[in-house]
Structure 1
């Protein structure tokens, strides 16, 4: 199996740890079961590859790159929150700590269309998306917007750099569909 693009590979790999009810990329039972019936095919093969890519990316990326991808794309709530916390500590901005944290959280969990986030379980209450709630000290709106914009640019830059590295890893392993075909 090959991936259509880098983002789909990252999303599938990060989602692999939440797919089964055993919790995590626990592909050993599936592999053992498939070996008994012959070759590993279909969904089991794709799941096995997604788990392998998860491990390969986790090992091959730097910690900041890995955290940025987990915060942006992971469906594993605990890992996503841990990555958000680490990114908040690492982000450089003149904004107060609570403002930085709220900016990172709302970037990682964007407000989705739909009635009060009913389309997704990973949506924050509406108050989280209002910048006035992000700090107790009064700051001009333009300053808050500048802080948020700079924080988001830094986060997106980190994700872009991580995706470039993921692309190199996947190309090296021959897991991307070539565009020349």
Structure 2
């Protein structure tokens, strides 16, 4: 084999675009799921990877372990480059690690600027992160953050029983603040994925 022939695979790999993730939201979910994957559960996590759709691109060439390592590396990169508020809003919204999610929500509450009283801000913020789930609570996993049904009753958010119009305006403002923060975080993640050439732009 000539030196030119031997160098061809290396040159081809250098020209290859490593589109590891098929979309921004799937990347965010995978990265935050990796944060909750322990050695004891890694085997089941790898089965989820292996059972996924067989797609082309760089990820199809990776072993389950390599895919998991990519998720962990991106987790560290996002944690470093996102602001604390952006990181917490993503963890609070999308993480499957209950303790991490609860901690992120708790850190997000003091960042909310609203004329509403503290109890209202606390409950309105929490239900945005943990929307009401369908089904009976007894059938839900204990690993999922769940709020009691009465937590979603806005009448319990304000002990002074202000008019519905006032409480609705407060809730809308708080949720808009969180939605804008989430949008900014997703945009920032998109920029990082594109910069690192980890996103499949054709998807």
- Normalised to the residue count of structure 2, the TM-score between the two structures is 0.75
Return 5+ residue gaps in structure 1 as ranges. 25-39
Task: Note if 1:56 corresponds to 2:51.
Answer: no
Aligned to 2:27: 9
Aligned to 1:157: 180
Aligned to 2:154: 131
1:97-150 Cα deviation digits (max 9, x unpaired) = 111010111011111122247345322110111111112111111111111111
Return 5+ residue gaps in structure 2 as ranges. 1-18, 43-60
Task: Note if 1:81 corresponds to 2:111.
Answer: no
Aligned to 1:167: 190
Contact 1:17 1:23 in 2 (8 A): no
- If you compute each CA radius of gyration, which structure gives the higher value, 1 or 2? 2
Q: Pick from 62, 67, 73 the counterpart of residue 88 of structure 2.
A: 67
CA distance in 2, matches of 1:55, 1:175: 15
What's the CA shift for 1:42?
Answer: 2.1
RMSD: 2.0
What's the CA shift for 1:20?
Answer: 2.1
Q: How many corresponding residue pairs? A: 165
